[in-house]
Amino acid sequence: METKTITKSQIREAVEQTYAECKGIQGGKNADYIPYLANIDPELFGISLTLPDGTTYAVGDTEYKFGIESVSKVLTAILVLKQYGAEAVLKQIGADATGLPFNSIFAILLENDHPSTPLVNAGAITACSMVQPQGDSWGKWEAIINNFRDLCATESEVIDELYRSESDTNFNNRSIAWLLKNYGRIYDDVPMSLDLYTRQCSVGITARQLGVCAATIANGGKNPVTGVQVFAPELAPKITTLISSVGFYQNTGDWLYTSGIPAKSGVGGGVLGVLPGVFGIAAFAPPLDPAGNSVRAQAAVKSVMSKLGLGVFDGVAVNVSDE
Ligand code: GLU
């Protein structure tokens, strides 16, 4: 297989130039169905890229804590993959793209034997119901938030105002949770499972933390900053497959086709991208396109990939050199 060498300074320049070029991109609109998100400064913008040796290139608002929202689904999917294994997750949740919006009830009716994938609302609520220890809300939350810390290398916590805002308005997710219960796909108490899901979506996270989490996945489960093997290497391709197939909901095919990197978005404006063996990248900017994906963060991740001439399906081995 052909090997392509890129240097660290090329990567740094790609991130810095991308920031300068994408900063002025307008368009899109903050999520407004969760009141807290509607009021976040739409000009915020940051990019953070972490290599398997822990080197991080971060520009812009990479220390700002924004709502992790749907990107949390990736982290908790990893937790249930760790706790149950890849086979059981396939059996109890599924791994199929729905091709429908993230919060689709129709998707559940169409696939009444599965919540589809842990990366849409339905499957993510099911994943929260599976988190061990069963029946223990506090113990489950500890497992979720400790897993966030292990993947991101630093602690994070719930933004209380966001949590209240989501809890007061999550009527659609309540319908999803009870409909799943009807199909026998909630494996613990229903309100508890929904509350854990809402809580994990309300965690404040920085682009730097998400970049480290992405790099942990790209690095076969070993956190490049702490050196800890957070999950087994054989689970890394499973989680990257889930991200590839549904990370941008109904726009996932277009995203992968045009960007060349599996990535997961959240309505808080975050995008987490995984280039296996090479790097993890995160970008953040609040205004979203109609499918709920950050306009500037998408442009930024695409731009870094194209400046470096990389793509997950290129069939070349990538070597990052120090020079
Ligand atoms: N908390 C949001 C919801 O459940 C997350 C959605 C998203 O980021 O796509 O509606």
Tens digit of each residue's pLDDT (9 = 90 or more) over 192-223 = 999 999 999 999 999 999 999 999 999 999 99
What pLDDT shows up at residue 245?
A: 95
Mean pLDDT across the stretch 26-41? 94
Query: For the whole model, what pTM was predicted?
Result: 0.97
Confidence of residue 101 (pLDDT cuts 50, 70, 90): confident
What pLDDT shows up at residue 249?
A: 84
In this predicted structure, the answer to whether residue 104 has a pLDDT above a threshold of 90 is no
Mean pLDDT across the stretch 35-40? 94
Cβ count within 10 A of residue 259: 22
Q: Which helix (H) or strand (E) holds 211?
A: helix 207-218
**Which atom of ligand 1 is nearest the CA belonging to 71?**
8
Mean pLDDT across the stretch 185-192? 97
What pLDDT shows up at residue 100?
A: 83
Cβ burial of 26 (10 Å; 0-12, 13-18, 19+) is exposed
**Which atom of ligand 1 is nearest the CA belonging to 166?**
1
**CATH class assigned to 3-65+206-321:** alpha beta
CA of 187 to the centre of ligand 1 (A): 21
Q: How far apart are CA 26 and CA 54, in angstroms?
A: 32
Q: How far apart are CA 176 and CA 158, in angstroms?
A: 23
Q: How far apart are CA 120 and CA 190, in angstroms?
A: 17
Summarised one tens digit per residue, pLDDT across range 226-249 is 999 999 999 999 999 999 999 998
What pLDDT shows up at residue 119?
A: 95
What pLDDT shows up at residue 110?
A: 83
The amino acid occupying position 146 is: N
CATH of 70-201, one of 2.30.30.790, 3.30.70.20, 3.40.710.10, 3.40.50.2300: 3.40.710.10
In this predicted structure, the answer to whether residue 108 has a pLDDT above a threshold of 90 is no
CA of 272 to the centre of ligand 1 (A): 15
User: What does pLDDT average to over the chain?
Assistant: 96
Cβ burial of 321 (10 Å; 0-12, 13-18, 19+) is exposed
Percent of the chain at pLDDT exceeding 70: 100
CA of 321 to the centre of ligand 1 (A): 38
Is the beta carbon of 266 within 6 A of some atom in ligand 1? Answer: yes
**Which atom of ligand 1 is nearest the CA belonging to 70?**
8
- Asked if domains 3-65+206-321 and 70-201 share a fold, the reply is yes
Q: Where are the domains of the chain?
A: 3-65+206-321, 70-201
In this predicted structure, the answer to whether residue 323 has a pLDDT above a threshold of 90 is no
Mean pLDDT across the stretch 313-320? 95
CA of 126 to the centre of ligand 1 (A): 14
Q: Which residues pair with 275 in a beta bridge?
A: 279
Give the end-to-end CA distance of the chain in Å, rounded to a whole number.
Answer: 23
Q: How far apart are CA 242 and CA 196, in angstroms?
A: 21
Summarised one tens digit per residue, pLDDT across range 283-295 is 999 999 998 999 9
What pLDDT shows up at residue 250?
A: 87
Confidence of residue 131 (pLDDT cuts 50, 70, 90): very high
What pLDDT shows up at residue 109?
A: 84
Confidence of residue 186 (pLDDT cuts 50, 70, 90): very high
**Which atom of ligand 1 is nearest the CA belonging to 124?**
4
What pLDDT shows up at residue 111?
A: 76
Confidence of residue 113 (pLDDT cuts 50, 70, 90): confident
Summarised one tens digit per residue, pLDDT across range 62-74 is 999 999 999 999 9
